[in-house]
Structure 1
């Protein structure tokens, strides 16, 4: 295997910019969502995209897969999808008289789980080991997944017909959640004009490969996180666990994900160290989908995103040393 030299942080930032620009050719007017998708990839995380149908969730996932020349697989989650369809199954080979493992859709660099909450909770849970440990266990054997490995799952709001809410353990595996939102009028007009010439997704070109992305991830791991920043991250997570509007706070995994994503933000800003603003800029996307509001908060229409934003505003920001 060819070993890629670890890139410098300016080179990592340039790579992320190229990826974002290429994706922006087909996802018009959504630079924040594009940047978050790239950030999660470089932070070794998984992304949950939640919104109503038809606003570009799947296009964002497929575009990210195209800009890296890695293997991309799509799993269409349906009520009759089985866990073995996701992870794989052992099949008896008549010629060799032995069982052979047939890989499921999870074996790829980028896995698009489309409409994940239309599958049963049992099938959804088939992703847990893969997302947490980058491996699949089946029939007494463990199979390692590709690196980099990222699950991008799309889901419709649970109020829509035929959907199942994701279990808390599943939601906690996702580093961040974003919503696409309806496009601005000019962006929607531009989309109609572009689509008149055919599927614009086919024009997206790879700007890097999987090995280069993995090398960039290695470089980002070296970004320094001071003890005071770790204390700040934990303070935010602890505040969610005692907040009167929340009956379930952020887990220790949430703190880890917030730290990893903050390192990426620092690297893309050209710094080799994390500052409090890096943490604060990501807190809502990383934490809001993991917490559960109380019944009283729901009745008062206090959304998790707003609660997390208020927590970040209330936790003392460490002074830069």
Structure 2
């Protein structure tokens, strides 16, 4: 068949559409948009969850149009040399550098051939590797040292694909790359189209099995304990496994009897349990959730999957989380689009500091915690008046109900910790205050999770001696090393490896009067999450209100339990001197000699004492902001702080979002 490709790299849509229909179910709108972008000479970014036919669409379009198709798997090990190409080391050692000895990488090959270059998992590619795409995307050419100018032939297009909901091992894509790409959001297909996909891929004619498999798979996407459900691939595998399992057990799948449904359960456990990404707070196993959904679909609501089936991806989510016994929502910390900075006259005015603020050093923290004991106790009636939720765990005699609190904790850890935050600072007696503080300490440390992928793919490529880790040869350095050596050793060869510079972080926690109770618990959880994710780096923790206190210096060792205990023991107090907090943070960073110095401030954005903090935020090498309020004025204040500090700004709605927000800041 004659391929409908034109000399200028365009594809004839009508012919392509007919050829693609044999491989792709539906996706008419997306097909038209992709072909239009390619014909317009534009490069494209496809965003969507796994199993939404992104690569299938592109392969079908390339095959139908006759365009060469080159695929690259994005990961943290993809270096610029692996994408662009390299000079053959043996040839260079024999007779020096020659253009003929250059081995083109996928980017160079795609440009020379006028091919479609498809990069999967685009947001797993390190930033320095993505930067090699800037010139090819903008100028359709780039220069390779000792090879020459590479110009793109007509038809060269770059198509990238990524899953915006995955936060494991992913990296930030810079705005300069986004600005050079058109973006197409691809969500899940309708239930009818997914049935057609399963029918096409399996060749099955068993309608009740196909309908049930699709309904069960779609139900995984709306379960409150599942952060990300299965794609249509799960339904395909379910049908294939069930039809191969049936003859082994002597089960007739033409009838939906109990034996057939039980067989479907075993197939579903195989096909779906590994494809579901559970929420961090899920208490059940994937198998238990699959069994529950199987019962719903095949016994209680046959051939129906309730809930919203089309996954919208119009709002970036950093790290989704879920919670049992809560209705589904858009979870996780929130990254809001930047808003115009407020006019100077509209900013809240901060009061003058009449007395010089005091800065407490780590050895003076006992002075702060001692003040709590001087407070007069409050009665049970006073506490219940201000905190009605305390009625759940505070008995008539004023004693703490351990059993009631344990039940609340099993249902909702965050709600239990929030209740402690309201209760223990105003407990009627010292014994109850100490009990609730110890409980809060245990829960905070438990909720603070370690994310080992926080710094995946980080670090700059640097030449190091060969240590059996990297195969990316630094040819120039190696030639210098082995020149004149008849028998080179392993350590005479130099390679490029990602070496991450040592960092110092300072975490600034707002403990002013506006951050009392539950918000103080949130601050403690932020500190615990930072400590759990720091391994080879240094970190400092400081509190600020009218005054400030350094709980941990950057080079000081302090157990996590003691650090959290000190935060919980410092009473939230008075006005907010945001500038003072930033000053203390800068001083702590200046005490260290690390190459990278980063500030993270945890605040509601309120500033009502001292001078303007914005000029000081600009002095940070990088300042990230974790906002605790979604009020419009405070959102703008937090965003302005992050903008001045060239950092990230993320907002939390509930306690469970805090560890993900901290990981998001550490991954920058």
Q: Which moved more, 1:105-114 or 1:54-63?
A: 54-63
Change (3 A) 1:189 1:73: same
Rounded Cα–Cα distance in structure 2 between residues aligned with 1:139 and 1:83: 13
The residue correspondences of 1:231-242 to structure 2 (distance < 5 A) are none
Q: Does 1:181 align with 2:162?
A: no
Change (3 A) 1:28 1:102: same
Q: Does 1:90 align with 2:87?
A: yes
Offset from partner CA, 1:159-196 (integer Å, 9 cap, x none): 5211112100001111x211221111111111111112
Change (3 A) 1:84 1:66: same
Q: Does 1:157 align with 2:164?
A: yes
Rounded Cα–Cα distance in structure 2 between residues aligned with 1:32 and 1:299: 34
Give the CA deviation at 1:197: 4.8
Rounded Cα–Cα distance in structure 2 between residues aligned with 1:122 and 1:54: 28
Q: Does 1:117 align with 2:123?
A: yes
2:46 is matched with: 49
Q: Does 1:166 align with 2:203?
A: no
Secondary structure in 1 matching 2:106: coil
Contact conserved, 2:116 with 2:156, CA < 8 A, in 1?
yes
Change (3 A) 1:77 1:71: same
Which residues of structure 2 form unaligned runs of 5+?
Answer: 205-336, 341-631, 640-649, 654-668
Which residue, out of 127, 131, 142, partners 1:136? 142
Change (3 A) 1:126 1:299: same
Give the CA deviation at 1:146: 2.4
Offset from partner CA, 1:45-103 (integer Å, 9 cap, x none): 11100011111111122222212212211111111110111111222416655442211
Contact conserved, 1:73 with 1:112, CA < 8 A, in 2?
yes
Rounded Cα–Cα distance in structure 1 between residues aligned with 2:106 and 2:339: 35
The residue correspondences of 1:33-112 to structure 2 (distance < 5 A) are 33-92=30-89, 93=91, 97-99=96-98, 100-106=101-107, 107-108=109-110, 109-112=115-118
Change (3 A) 1:81 1:186: same
Offset from partner CA, 1:248-290 (integer Å, 9 cap, x none): 9xxxxxxxxxxxxxxxxxxxxxxxxxxxxxxxxxxxxxxxxxx
Rounded Cα–Cα distance in structure 2 between residues aligned with 1:158 and 1:247: 23
Give the CA deviation at 1:122: 1.0
Query: TM-score of the superposition, structure 1-length normalised?
Result: 0.56
Change (3 A) 1:96 1:128: same
Secondary structure in 1 matching 2:161: strand
Contact conserved, 2:49 with 2:165, CA < 8 A, in 1?
no
Query: TM-score of the superposition, structure 2-length normalised?
Result: 0.28
Q: Which moved more, 1:84-93 or 1:35-44?
A: 84-93
Offset from partner CA, 1:109-163 (integer Å, 9 cap, x none): 1000111111111111121111112223110521112211111100111552111
Secondary structure in 2 matching 1:123: helix
- Total equivalences in the alignment: 202
Rounded Cα–Cα distance in structure 1 between residues aligned with 2:53 and 2:95: 46
Change (3 A) 1:5 1:129: closer
Give structure 1 regions of 4+ aligned residues with deviation exceeding 2 angstroms.
4-7, 20-27, 94-99, 245-248, 294-301
Contact conserved, 2:142 with 2:150, CA < 8 A, in 1?
yes
Change (3 A) 1:247 1:135: farther
1:24 is matched with: 21
1:319 is matched with: none
Rounded Cα–Cα distance in structure 2 between residues aligned with 1:136 and 1:197: 47
1:194 is matched with: 200
Rounded Cα–Cα distance in structure 2 between residues aligned with 1:5 and 1:78: 34
Q: Which has the larger radius of gyration?
A: 2
Give the CA deviation at 1:5: 9.0
Rounded Cα–Cα distance in structure 1 between residues aligned with 2:195 and 2:154: 38
Secondary structure in 2 matching 1:194: helix
Contact conserved, 1:20 with 1:38, CA < 8 A, in 2?
no
Contact conserved, 2:87 with 2:97, CA < 8 A, in 1?
no
Contact conserved, 1:117 with 1:165, CA < 8 A, in 2?
yes
